[in-house]
Structure formats: structure tokens, C-alpha cells
Amino acid sequence: MSISVDPRPGRHRGRAAAATARISFEAMDADPNTLVAAAAAGDRDAWNSLVDRYAGLVWATARAFRLNDADAADVSQVTWLRAVEHLDDLRNPAALSSWLVTTTRREALNLLRQRRTGALPDADAPEVADDEQPPPWHDILVDERNRELWTAFRRLSARCQTLLRLLVIDPAGSYTKVAAALDVPVGSLGPTRARCLTTLRGHLAQSGVDG
């Protein structure tokens, strides 16, 4: 993918043609450092590539706090609006993914606090009821196995859901990066991952499916 630097000075406030929401696979190949530098220099394509690359990470992080569609969309939007303003002072562009996760988590927690949903959810407590949130069957082709896996996954603690989502969304992402994003010691990730997967297998076994 070629990165062109937009020479236009100043602000980029023009209403650009509506962006298509298709995820570009090219985005996965580009170096995030290059993309952050290009976006900071005014390259909108580079920005779109960053969004394509990390939108799933931001969404997954918001979802891990069991936010519904509308709340997760709000949290995601504020996170990206702030990211635009912080492009220039990200000292280490490679840290963008950690910055995004940290900002999303803080924003999701703020939203829960403002809703006064009582005490904040205990990150280690298992999900007990998820009735207010029907499964988001965006894809009607989701099969039985995926439904059961989703149900079992949603019964995991928020901590497990976040960790597993981060691990699967960015398989190339190192434990170091995930640990920084979650603000936990890197040494704890392996054992936590194993424990979360064991619990997930237990939930699946209860529903009569092999893990």
C-alpha cells in the first residue's frame, strides 16, 4: 500500500464523500507507525486504514463491558474522535492500539458509572444475567455451534471476555501489548488465558457441546 502525504495545510474539516464502511484488507499489511505518521500529516487514507485495522479492537473492548449496540457505538465514536486529536502527541505511534484500548475502557467505565447501574461490575464476577441484551445475531447464518459458543462466552467474567477478545482480534499482537492495554502484568496473561479457556470449556460442556 502506498502512503501519500496530503500537502494541504491546516484543518481537515471538509465533509468528504461518504466513506464506505468496507474493511480494507490492505490495512492489515501497512506498518502502524507509518500510518500514524501519515495520518498526522494529513493523509485521510492512512487514517481510514488505521480505523479498518483497529475498529474491531475498540468495538471488542466496549463490548467486553457488556454495552449494548447504542452505548458501544457512542463509546467507540468518542474514542476515535479523541484519537484524531491525539495523533500528533502519540509519542510512540506503535502504542496507538494500547491507547485506543485504554481510552475505550475508561470511557465504557465512565458510561456505566453515569448510568448509575449501582456498583460497577466486578471484573472477575461471572456474567449472571444478560437478559436486557439479546444476542446480536447480525448474521442469520450463525449456526448452532456459534450460538452456544457465544452464550458460553458471555457467561465469562468481563476480564476473561476482554482478554480473549484482545487475543483473537489481533493474533499478531504480543502479550506485552495486551498486558499494557489491560494494565496487568505480562506474566499473568498466560495463566489467565488458560483459566478463561478452561471456564469456557466448562460452560460449553454444560450446554452439551464439546469444547
Partner 1 sequence: MNPAEHPDDTALLAELRDMLWRVDPVPARAIEAARNSYDWRTLDLELAALTADSSLATADVRGEPARLLSYEAGSCSIDVEVGEAAGRLRILGQLVPPQAARLRVEQPGVSVEVTADEMGRFTVRDLPPGPTRFVVEPADPAAPGTGVRTDWVRL
Is 126 near partner 1 (CB under 8 A)? no
Give the whole-angstrom CA distance, residue 115 versus residue 109.
10
Say if CB 101 and CB 166 are below 8 A apart.
yes
What CA–CA distance (Å, rounded) separates 160 from 95?
22
- Burial class (CB within 10 angstroms; exposed 0-12, middle 13-18, buried 19+) of 105: buried
Stretch that binds partner 1, among 80-88, 90-98, 124-132, 177-185 (CB under 8 A): 80-88
Regarding 186 and contact with partner 1 (CB under 8 A), the answer is no
Q: Which stretch of DSSP H or E encloses residue 103? A: helix 96-114
- Only one of the segments 27-35, 90-98, 121-129, 160-168 lies at the binding site for partner 1 (rule: CB under 8 A); that segment is 160-168
Stretch that binds partner 1, among 28-36, 124-132, 177-185, 194-202 (CB under 8 A): 194-202
Q: Is 121 in the site for partner 1 (CB under 8 A)?
A: no
Of the candidates 4, 92, 113, 202, which one interacts with partner 1 according to CB under 8 A?
113
CA distances from 31 to 34, 36, 94 (A): 5, 9, 9
Distance CA 186, CA 174 (A): 10
Among 2, 114, 129, 185, which residue sits at the site for partner 1 (rule: CB under 8 A)? 114
Site for partner 1 in 57-76 (CB under 8 A): 58-60, 63, 69, 72-76
- Give the one residue of 27, 38, 99, 153 binding partner 1; rule: CB under 8 A: 153
User: Contact between 8 and partner 1 (CB under 8 A)?
Assistant: no
